[in-house]
Chains A and B, each alone.
Chain A
Amino acid sequence: MKKIFTVAGLALIGATVGSANAQLIAHKDLSVTTAVTIAQTAVQTCKAQGYNVSAHVLGRAGEVLVAMRGDDTGPHTLENSMKKAWTARAQRAPSLNFANAVKANPTAGAIHLTNMVPAQGGLPIMVGEDAIGAVGVSGAPGGDKDEACAKAGIDKVAADLK
Chain B
Amino acid sequence: MFKSAYAIAGVSLAVVLGVAVPANAQLLTHKDLSVATATTIALTAIETCKAQGYNVSANVLGREGQVVVAIRNPAAGFATYENSMKKAYTARTTRAPSGKFADAVKGNPNAGQFFLTNFVAAQGALPIMVGNDTIGAIGISGAPGGDKDEACAKAGIDKVAAQLR
Binding site for B on A (CB under 8 A): 29-32, 35-36, 40, 43, 59, 63-71, 75, 78
- Within 8 Å of chain A (Cβ to Cβ): is B39? yes
Set of chain B residues within 8 Å of A59, measured between Cβ atoms: 72, 74
How far is the CB of A24 from the nearest CB of chain B, in Å? 17
A-B contact pairs, 21 of them (CB 8 A): A31-B74, A32-B71, A32-B72, A32-B73, A32-B74, A32-B75, A35-B71, A59-B72, A63-B72, A65-B71, A65-B72, A65-B74, A66-B71, A66-B72, A67-B70, A69-B66, A69-B67, A69-B68, A71-B35, A75-B66, A78-B67
Chain A proximity mask over B64-93: 1 for CB below 8 Å, otherwise 0:
001111111111001001000000000000
Which of B36, B39, B46, B70 touches A64 (beta carbons < 8 Å)?
B70
Set of chain A residues within 8 Å of B39, measured between Cβ atoms: 36, 40, 68
Please state if B72 and A68 are interface contacts (CB–CB under 8 Å).
Answer: no
- Which of B35, B39, B71, B75 is packed against the most chain A CB atoms within 10 Å? B35
Please state if B69 and A67 are interface contacts (CB–CB under 8 Å).
Answer: yes
Given A31-B74, A65-B72, A67-B69, 13 more contacts at CB 8 Å? Answer: A30-B74, A32-B73, A32-B74, A32-B75, A36-B43, A43-B35, A64-B70, A64-B72, A66-B70, A68-B39, A68-B68, A69-B66, A75-B66
Kindly state the interface size class of chain B when it binds its partner: 10 to 19
Please state if B46 and A69 are interface contacts (CB–CB under 8 Å).
Answer: no
How far is the CB of A149 from the nearest CB of chain B, in Å? 13
Please state if B74 and A66 are interface contacts (CB–CB under 8 Å).
Answer: no
Within 8 A of A (CB), among B39-74: 39, 43, 46, 62, 66-74
- Within 8 Å of chain A (Cβ to Cβ): is B29? no
Nearest A-chain residue to B33, judged by Cβ: A71
- Within 8 Å of chain A (Cβ to Cβ): is B110? no
A66 to B67: give the CA distance in the assembly, Å: 11
Set of chain B residues within 8 Å of A71, measured between Cβ atoms: 34-36
Set of chain B residues within 8 Å of A69, measured between Cβ atoms: 35, 62, 66-69
Which of A30, A63, A66 touches B69 (beta carbons < 8 Å)?
A66
How far is the CB of A55 from the nearest CB of chain B, in Å? 9
Within 8 A of A (CB), among B149-165: none
A40 to B39: give the CA distance in the assembly, Å: 8
How far is the CB of A145 from the nearest CB of chain B, in Å? 18
A72 to B41: give the CA distance in the assembly, Å: 19
Nearest B-chain residue to A78, judged by Cβ: B67
Set of chain A residues within 8 Å of B67, measured between Cβ atoms: 67, 69, 78
Set of chain B residues within 8 Å of A36, measured between Cβ atoms: 39, 43, 71
Set of chain A residues within 8 Å of B36, measured between Cβ atoms: 71
